[in-house]
Amino acid sequence: MLREDTQNPVIGWCRQALRFVLPVECLTCGNSLSTDPVPFFCRSCWHTIRRLQQPTCASCDQPFVSSAATANSPNHRCWHCQERPPSFERAWTLFPYLPPLREAICSFKYQRKYALARPLARLMISALPSGIEVDTIIPVPLHPTRLRSREFNQSLLLADQLSRHLAKPVSATQLVRSSATVPQTTLTRQERLRNLRNAFEVRRPQDLKEKRILLVDDVFTTGTTLNECAKSLRNAGSGPVFALTLARTVDSDLVPDRLLAEQATQSLPAIGI
């Protein structure tokens, strides 16, 4: 993990004084916060966030159930990527979409807890794969209607922090969402494919010609949104497109026992045990 700003004692004292006057409870365990560095989360809960270390698909980063999948074929791809090769060159999905990260992302995205943008971006930076070589960072866009309702694009806030770390420019106006589609969270995989067809456009293709692009989003579910974005960029003449997401939804049988055990331990006080 990156260095936390609590190493500055003045900031820690100020935070403790403020939380004494205005108490804040951890969104995961409910304990009162004092000098904990991440807004709305205690240090103990935040430090349970771990990367998935098991073998993954060489294209979309889908975790495999068994390490045998890549034992003799390190570049093995999952069934979906073999049947329908994605338009992006490579996707990296850094953390499992499990508590407390799930609560953090939902609070940031739907409850307008903007203060979580920086610690969430720090998580991404702490787990960045080596050798990312891109020319431009592009956040997955929101349709203007959705943007007016939410008032901010969570992917843009994450991309801005990544831009500072990677020293690469962010383009928030090149790729636009031209169709106001139904939220993807309510749809099946096949419905997601139909829902986003031709939903994205590139405004100035000449500015992205042969540029290597890093798409940034918060959560990878089926990869449909990222794939449609990448398809629009490639059709507009861009170079290879890579994708980076903070979290990924995973089936429970793909989550290491260690992570499940930690989540079970944290949930005991909530049910009175």
Residue 212 exposure: Cα atoms within 13 Å on the Cβ side:
8
Alpha carbons 12 and 91: distance in angstroms, whole number: 37
Backbone φ and ψ of 23, nearest 5°: -60, 140
> Residue 1: pLDDT band by 50, 70, 90 thresholds?
very low
260 and 228 in a common domain: no
* Half-sphere exposure (Cβ direction) of 7: Cα atoms closer than 13 Å: 4
- Per-residue pLDDT at 258 exceeds 60: no
Same domain, yes or no: 99 and 224 = yes
Do 9 and 144 sit in the same domain of this protein? no
Q: What is the CATH number of the domain that holds 165?
A: 3.40.50.2020
Inside any domain, residue 106: yes
Per the listing, tokens 């026992």 go with 257
Structure tokens at 85: 């090769």
pLDDT digits (tens, 9 = 90+) for 135-144: 999 999 998 8
Provide the mean pLDDT of the chain. Answer: 84
- The answer on 79 and 27 residing in a single domain is no
pTM of the full predicted structure?
0.81
Residues 11 and 82 in one domain: no
pLDDT, residue 192, reads 57
Number of domains in the chain: 2
In Å, how far are 31, 45, 107, 111, 182 from 19, measured between CA atoms? 12, 18, 19, 20, 40
Distance of CA 50 to the CA centre of its chain: 14
How far apart (Å, rounded) are the C-alpha atoms in residues 134 and 211?
Answer: 8
54 inside domain: no
- Same domain, yes or no, for 112 and 165? yes
Q: Look at residue 53 and tell me if it is in a domain.
A: no
Token output for 76 = 């093995």
Residue 40 · residue 34 · CB < 8 Å: no
Q: Is residue 265 part of a domain?
A: yes
**Residues 16, 137: one domain?**
no
Instruction: Inform me whether the pLDDT recorded for 179 exceeds 80.
Output: no
Domain assignment of residue 226, yes or no: yes
- Does residue 181 fall inside a structural domain? yes
Same domain assignment for residues 248 and 260 = no
In a domain, 56, yes or no: no
Q: What is the average pLDDT across 177-197?
A: 63
Give the SS3 label for residue 98: coil
Question: How much is the average pLDDT of 22-42?
Answer: 86
Residue 217's DSSP bridge partners are 245
Residues 120 and 109 grouped into a single domain:
yes
What does the alpha-carbon distance between residue 257 and residue 265 come to, in Å, rounded to a whole number?
A: 12
- Which range of residues forms the domain containing residue 263? 5-46+256-271
Tell which residue, 44, 50, 55, has the closest CA to residue 98: 50
Statement to judge: residues 232 and 248 lie in one domain: yes
Q: Is residue 74 part of a domain?
A: yes
CB 107 within 8 A of CB 40: yes
Averaged over 2-12, what is the pLDDT?
A: 52
**DSSP code for 259:** H
Confidence of residue 131 (pLDDT cuts 50, 70, 90): confident
The model's confidence at residue 271, banded by pLDDT at 50, 70 and 90, is very low
CA–CA distance from 221 to each of 61, 81, 93, 153, 181 (Å)?
Answer: 11, 14, 10, 18, 17
The torsion angles phi and psi of 263, rounded to 5 degrees, stand at: -65, -40
Tokens representing 266 are 């944290």
The answer to whether the beta carbons of residues 233 and 124 sit under 8 Å apart is no
Q: Is the peptide bond before 100 cis (omega within 30 degrees of 0)?
A: yes
Widest CA span of the chain, in angstroms?
A: 61
Residues 211 and 262 placed together within one structural domain of the fold: no
Whether residues 97 and 126 share a domain: the answer is: yes
Compute the distance between CA of residue 234 and CA of residue 271 in angstroms, rounded to an integer: 50
